[in-house]
Amino acid sequence: MKNALLYGAVALATFASAGAARAATIIHNNGAPYTYKVHANSAGSGNSLVLHTKQIQSFVTVSSTDMIDVGNGDGEAQVNGVGRFDFADVTINPDLNFSIMQFKVDGPNGNTPGHDFDILVTFVGGATQTFSNVLLPANDKLDIVAGLGEVMDKITFSDMRSAAGASQDFRALKQISFEAAPAVPEPATWAMMLGGFGVLGAAARRRRMVRTLA
């Protein structure tokens, strides 16, 4: 029984640690995309668009306070403003929780090294982390990587600025891909697991008592 309770305590500690995740890292990356590549899903234009990944089917919601557009085809998604307009912010929210995401960001004139912007990472459980004044690299491509055992829920890009500090908008967000994080059991699932551990522990104890009496 004590062993069963110990296993349950370890499980609960692991769950609490995952829920409290709040650390990620930004890296510059010229490498290949990740497993889940985001496609346009013929989503057209609007403030909230449902895209998808084709290789392994899942859905990805992309939203903005401005109108955005991904066209009516189903190639790899490129998020643009509508008409002649760019967009001030955009949030990528996959249905699947993820451990790493890669993307390419274009400033107001396409490839614009020297510009910077802010990134808000929201983790599973609601904790957040803000990266301020993230500089666009020469190839505009960045990865956001969660810490060991941590899981991300969504990412928001905002507040593009020129090298001189003037407020700017985003021209495009493209080449989005990510890796899904291992599933974390829900609290109710943990409760069922702990109940099962307790039953198994009690049964083992009864068997030991029977053998002792015999």
- pLDDT tens figures, 32-82: 899 999 999 999 999 999 999 988 899 999 999 999 999 999 999 999 999
State the average pLDDT for the chain: 81
Six-digit token pair at 124? 């599973």
Q: What is the C-alpha R_g of the chain?
A: 23
| Triad 181, 187, 191: Cα angle to 5° | 125
- Residue 119 contacts by C-beta under 8 Å, 6 or more apart in sequence? 26, 130, 131, 134, 144, 155, 156, 157
The model's pLDDT over 150-194, given as tens digits with 9 standing for 90+, comes to 999 999 999 999 988 999 999 999 999 999 998 655 555 445 545
Q: Which residues pair with 123 in a beta bridge?
A: 152
Mean pLDDT of 128-143: 91
User: In Å, how far from its chain's centre is CA 94?
Assistant: 7
Domain covering 20-179, topology: Jelly Rolls (2.60.120)
- Please state the domain extents for the chain: 20-179
